[in-house]
Amino acid sequence: MATIFTRLNYDFNPDKFGKAIDPTGELESSLERIKPLLHKWQFEALANNDVSGYLQNPLANTTISMNTYANSMKNFASTVTFDIAGNSKMIAASTSLVSEISAFQSHCDRISGVTATTDPTLPDFESALGIGEFVQLIVSSYDGIMNNIPILGSMTSLFVQSELSANLITLTSDSATLNATFTNSLPGGSNSLITIVSNDAICNNINSVTSFLSTRRTADVNYYGKARDLVDDYGKLSRFTAFSPLKLYLTENYVGTDKLKSKL
Predicted confidence (pLDDT) per residue in 211-226, tens digit: 999 999 999 999 999 9
Q: Is 50 helix (H, G, I), strand (E, B) or coil?
A: coil
For the chain, what is the total number of helices (H) and then of strands (E)? 10, 3
Q: Check residue 147 and give its pLDDT.
A: 95
Burial of 59 (0-12, 13-18, 19+ CB in 10 A): buried
pLDDT in tens, 142-192: 999 999 999 999 999 999 999 999 999 999 999 999 999 998 655 556 789
pLDDT in tens, 92-109: 999 999 999 999 999 999
* 183 Cβ contact partners less than 8 Å away, ≥ 6 residues apart: 191, 192, 193
Q: What is the pTM of this model?
A: 0.90
CA distance 228 to 16: 51
Q: Check residue 35 and give its pLDDT.
A: 85
Q: Check residue 186 and give its pLDDT.
A: 56
Sheet holding 81-82, edge to edge: 81-82, 191-192, 182-183
CA distance 222 to 219: 5
CA distance 54 to 261: 52
What count of Cα atoms within 13 Å lies in the side-chain half-sphere of residue 264? 19
Q: Check residue 187 and give its pLDDT.
A: 59
Q: Check residue 83 and give its pLDDT.
A: 80
Residue type, 175: S
Question: What average pLDDT does this structure show over 38-64?
Answer: 95
Please write down the HEC assignment for all residues of 209-221: HHHHHHHHHHHHH
Q: Check residue 116 and give its pLDDT.
A: 95
Question: What average pLDDT does this structure show over 84-95?
Answer: 92
Q: Check residue 185 and give its pLDDT.
A: 56
Confidence at 2, pLDDT banded by 50, 70, 90: confident
The overall average pLDDT reported for the chain is: 94
